[in-house]
Chains A and B, each alone.
Chain A
Amino acid sequence: GAGVSQTPSNKVTEKGKYVELRCDPISGHTALYWYRQSLGQGPEFLIYFQGTGAADDSGLPNDRFFAVRPEGSVSTLKIQRTERGDSAVYLCASSPGRGARAGNTIYFGEGSWLTVV
């Protein structure tokens, strides 16, 4: 597709379960971002990939959160032992080149709504 694609669009899981969220960026975009947006808040940075490597993972809240991008395109955000506080919209975005540093536009997907019950 033409835009950033995220699956699933909605996920309800029980506390303590493991969750994977997938992002398919725009073709050719080397920069990929994960953000988390809680109700009534702005998106909060989690992790940034350049190609296959995590260039900045300073936003990951704890070691239950992990993300991979093994072939430099699709990325998966993995959350272990989910907690109710993890409930949020998880946004993926992609950009060409060095992303925001170069003033490039960052393109967002519609997000994956995660609810932990």
Chain B
Amino acid sequence: NAGVTQTPKFQVLKTGQSMTLQCAQDMNHEYMSWYRQDPGMGLRLIHYSVGAGITDQGEVPNGYNVSRSTTEDFPLRLLSAAPSQTSVYFCASRGTGNTEQYFGPGTRLTVT
């Protein structure tokens, strides 16, 4: 199993540009989440999904959209990038009966 994969690893955007961060998992996990991590802080939940077709907002959802058309994929869309969205983004997944969360390697995003 590849686990949780994220692309790209690094991205630089200009203010106002849009882009999609990709996340995929091959463990047939129902739960998937997106977090952002800023220096000196823990992870803050952006959006999450409890299954295909079901998404919900986390702690910091503004400026981001998600969709979950399949169990495997959970892309995160930045609608109009802002410098405040400069961060490291982590995707994670977990099964319904298994409470351990598996993380992807992260995407380092810089918005100039």
Q: State yes or no: do A and B come from one complex.
A: no
